[in-house]
Chains A and B, each alone.
Chain A
Amino acid sequence: MTLDASFTARRSEVFDVSIDIDVARGTTTALLGPNGSGKSTIVSVLAGLLAIEDGHIRIGDKLVDAPSEGVFVPVAQRHVGVVFQDYLLFDKMNVLENIAFGPRAAGRVASDAKEIAQGLMEQFGLDSLADLHPPQLSGGQAQQVALARALAISPSLLLLDEPLAALDVATRSRFRRSLAEHLDSFDGARLLITHDAADAFLLAEQIVVLEHGRVIQAGSAEEIRRHPATPYVAALSGRNLLQATNTGGVLAVDGSDQLLQTWDTAASGAVLVSIPPSAIAVYTEQPHGSPRNTWATTVSAIEPLGDTSRVYVGAPLELSADLTPGAIASLRLEPGSSVWVSIKATEIDVSQA
């Protein structure tokens, strides 16, 4: 484990955060929760900007905060790379100086720091921006500079605080994909803090769902999707997210032979497809309608979720559909049932990936 944290921290008289989280080397864990769930408190605590009240934090082999042992490693000695929500680039420095700031602060001579920064800029494709100042950058460029700056200190833990939230919807999917690539190339522990389920499910192997300062569920993306512990988690994880290629309204889903028809041709090429579970209809016999978005499959699982139940279907496309218990009873659905599913083309949301 490169991050082993189990602690209680207090932001104010009335709000405390108590979590237990482990992140293995070379993996990404997402901390998923709504605003006010305690995510930013956890960022402050792990970065060393806020001391814990109880518990311990170990980064790599090093104990960095443990009140019972009187250990507290201050922020400047923690080597935790942080990509802040609004990036917090230094406006008075150019891009190169921003990225070289960490190595420079660590006492490296200017030429070494510059070399490290240039290496990262090459890796991120930022070479041409070296002399620009942060106000001249687009949101996506600023995010990349912030990530490069955090990686320049060779951190043992990388914290990403809502790294995509400041971007507009059109650029978010594109930068999500490039972020995924950059995260893969960093071999330390990665902790992604987000309120966006798409970020969590697409970027992380493990997901920790946080509400009111407490962990309400933790597990792999697949486990969370299959067994959401609360309606909140179910709502978060319910949307079917698929990566696909859009060619004139025909979606070829990655890793599947099934084609989907959409009316949305604004986004073409590599796209992210999102289908709400309520948009998927389940039948026991072949329905009339678009042959493209209708196919035969089998029920793999049924999970009750309060007022509705979530029905999972298997190949050719693993999807989940929300049905009422009455509908499930009248269709006599059970795991292994042969069914037909149908999706309205208008309910398929497509965005540029």
Chain B
Amino acid sequence: MTRSTRRTIQQRPPAAIVVAGCVASALFVVPLLGLLWRTPWSRLIDLYTSDIVLDAIRISVITSIASAFLCVVLGVPLAWLLSRVEFRGRDILRALVTLPMVLPPVVGGAALLFAFGRRGIVGEPLDAATGFVLPFSIWAVIVANTFVAMPFLVVTVEGALRSLDGRHEAAAATLGASQLTVFRRIALPMISPSLRAGVVLAWARSLGEFGATITFAGSLQGRTQSLPLAVFVALESDRDAAVAISLLLVVVSFVVLVAFRDRWWTRV
């Protein structure tokens, strides 16, 4: 059948569904319009070069990249263990690892504080032994970010590893490769698209992290105040700055989404 003779039959969708769909879309579009509406375009350059914003950008860049790095070096081995080794309590561990995805981040921050705080179960002996106090330092921001972001990486990578049928890995083993070699040279390259997606998801999640960070690391400008924290503080003091930082975060998030759209949006 040629293009000119093909008829497409599309029924008019039910009105109730169209209305609900429009309301839902408005929920996403209107706040963005509100943000653009309030954006102080003329002051934007000044705002972005102010100390408070530059400090926040620096903290956010350092901590989000550091925590994405930690997510990979710790999360990938954990994903391998969860997908490839049968051990007692594996299902419980998997549930615990994914808990931060649904837990209110502020609860996570409080839990981190009880563990690593000056009086915490780990924090107290650590302080006594080394004098190092984790909370309210840039390290605390990195730990809080990693706590909320790593589950995204582990879930993505573990799912990819479980969906490999294992036959290529078996073939590599017959050629004499150790488990570590098989993982590094066969499994990891095969799941690299999922690994990349997991890294980006984890990085984006830690860039936007607020609740656990403010609870565990506080909001100290130049030390622990990341971009989302700076927005929250600026809402009280300088609304224009809050809008400017928000706009920056929207643009970054949007760029990430577009860059990875082929992975997350399957277009027919």
- By a beta-carbon cutoff of 8 Å, the part of chain A in contact with chain B is 47-49, 75-82, 84, 88, 90-92, 101-102, 105-106, 149-150, 152-153
Contact = CB atoms under 8 A, between A and B. Distances in A.
Given A79-B176, A90-B185, A101-B172, 5 more contacts: A75-B173, A76-B176, A88-B170, A105-B172, A150-B174
A76 B186 CA distance: 14
Given A84-B167, A88-B168, A90-B186, A105 B174 contact: no
Nearest to A44: B170
Contacts of A105: 172, 175-178, 181
Nearest to A74: B173
B107 interface: no
B175 A102 contact: yes
Most B CB contacts (10 A, CB to CB) among A48, A78, A88, A106 go to A88
Contacts of A79: 176
Nearest to A99: B175
A102 B178 CA distance: 11
Nearest to B165: A88
Interface string B160-191: 00000001101111111111010001100110
B171 A84 contact: yes
A101 B168 contact: no
Interface residues of B, number: 17
A48 to B, nearest CB: 7
A72 to B, nearest CB: 14
A255 B189 CA distance: 52
A324 B189 CA distance: 61
Contact of A76 (B167, B173, B190): B173
A79 B174 CA distance: 7
B257 to A, nearest CB: 27
B171 A88 contact: yes
Nearest to A152: B175
Contacts of A75: 170, 173-174
B172 A47 contact: no
